Amino acid sequence: MTDFLNNALFIFQRLNWLGIIDILLVTLIFFGVLYLVRDTQAMILLRGIILILLLVALMTSLVNLPALSWLIRTILPAMVFVIPVIFAPEIRRALERIGRAGTFFRASGKNGSEGIHQIIQPVVGAAARLSARQHGALIILERFDHLDDYIRTGVLIQADVTPEMLMQIFYPNTPLHDGAVIISGKKIIAAACILPLSSSGILARTPERKMGLRHRAAVGITEVTDSIAVVVSEETGAISIAHAGRIIRRLDLERLENVLTAFYNPAQSRKENFFQRHFPYLFPHKDE
């Protein structure tokens, strides 16, 4: 105990402001990595790796095991190549967010504040009618990040945003009802679009667990872009909004309009700081 206290005192005596900054930077990196992999399967793998490393460190330090120590020293360099393979989805997501950093300097929004209601009102009206009839729907509102890669997976439409058009697209058993509608500017650009599914564990932890592929796709597209997703459940008719990798459920029409306006408003978008827009894991929205 005396040796431990002496070593700790020796470290604190040598600590200066540059060392404190160094420690804070390393802590921030670990904090960001843990937030990036939370609610994913990678978190379970990370816990397993940390547990194994701790057990090996204890065994090699407390007991003299030369063969095991040699094996560990031989395997550790290979982990440099193994870790990127294990955490490939999380690394890809982080690089995509960094790559979209240029949007921070872009003019915000494609529509003025008057044009916002021309988009939100038809979406809210269509969601209300689809919910009453329990017709499933997935509507994506493009913001700063372009969705061209996902638009190309669907059928181009280039139509005005109206409740009737959205209802017709999502009418059951029609050719375009299965997939997502992408709205850019004041137009419905494409329908039947294929979106990436979320790798997050948020949906699996819901009490009802009645959220299927539409909800996973809604959360998935908002994990990799800054778009907004409106989902209507085919089973219950419940309306949800996904944004920044989080989902807000059981919205009535008034709250649906308010939340959409808050998320989609260009004036509000200008007030968002860089980290909130490109690293939403550090500033998560509350789920319902």
CATH of the domain at 238: 3.40.1700.10
Query: Which pLDDT score, from 0 to 100, does residue 77 have?
Result: 77
Specify the higher pLDDT residue, 131 or 226: 131
95 and 116 co-located in one domain? no
> Which of 87, 104, 121 is the C-terminal boundary of a domain?
104
206 within domain boundaries:
yes
116 and 234 co-located in one domain? yes
235 and 123 co-located in one domain? yes
125 and 264 co-located in one domain? yes
208 and 78 co-located in one domain? no
Handedness of CA 62, 65, 70, 76 (dihedral sign): negative
Percent of the chain with pLDDT over 90: 29
144 and 278 co-located in one domain? yes
Assess whether pLDDT exceeds 90 at residue 246.
no
Q: Please report the DSSP string for the chain in residue order.
A: -HHHHHHHHHHHHH--HHHHHHHHHHHHHHHHHHHHHTTBHHHHHHHHHHHHHHHHHHHHHHS--HHHHHHHHHHHHHHHHHHHHHTHHHHHHHHHHHHGGGGGGSPS-SS-HHHHHHHHHHHHHHHHHHHHHT--EEEEE--SS--HHHHTTSEEEEEE--HHHHHHHTSTTSTTSSSEEEEETTEEEEEEE--PPP-BSTGGGSSS----HHHHHHHHHHHHSS-EEEEE-TTT--EEEEETTEEE-S--HHHHHHHHHHHH-HHHHHHS-HHHHH-GGGSPPPP-
Query: Which pLDDT score, from 0 to 100, does residue 267 have?
Result: 44
228 within domain boundaries:
yes
288 within domain boundaries:
no
Query: Which pLDDT score, from 0 to 100, does residue 160 have?
Result: 93
92 and 117 co-located in one domain? no
Q: Are 242 and 197 in contact (CB under 8 A)?
A: no
> Which of 104, 133, 157 is the C-terminal boundary of a domain?
104
100 within domain boundaries:
yes
118 and 151 co-located in one domain? yes
Per-residue pLDDT averaged across 245-267, rounded? 84
68 within domain boundaries:
yes
Q: Which of 78-87, 172-181, 209-218 has the least mean pLDDT?
A: 78-87
238 and 278 co-located in one domain? yes
Query: Which pLDDT score, from 0 to 100, does residue 115 have?
Result: 64
- pLDDT band for position 285 (50/70/90)? very low
Per-residue pLDDT averaged across 164-177, rounded? 92
Assess whether pLDDT exceeds 70 at residue 269.
no
Assess whether pLDDT exceeds 80 at residue 208.
no
148 and 235 co-located in one domain? yes
129 and 28 co-located in one domain? no
Query: Which pLDDT score, from 0 to 100, does residue 146 have?
Result: 84
- In DSSP terms, 183 is beta-bridged to 141, 188
Q: Which of 59-68, 112-121, 223-232, 263-272 has the least mean pLDDT?
A: 263-272
Assess whether pLDDT exceeds 90 at residue 78.
no
67 within domain boundaries:
yes
287 within domain boundaries:
no
> Which of 70, 87, 104 is the C-terminal boundary of a domain?
104
Per-residue pLDDT averaged across 153-178, rounded? 93
173 within domain boundaries:
yes
Assessment of whether the complete model's pTM goes beyond 0.85: no
Number of domains into which the chain is organized: 2
72 and 201 co-located in one domain? no
Query: Which pLDDT score, from 0 to 100, does residue 43 have?
Result: 67
Question: Residue 165 belongs to what domain range?
Answer: 108-282
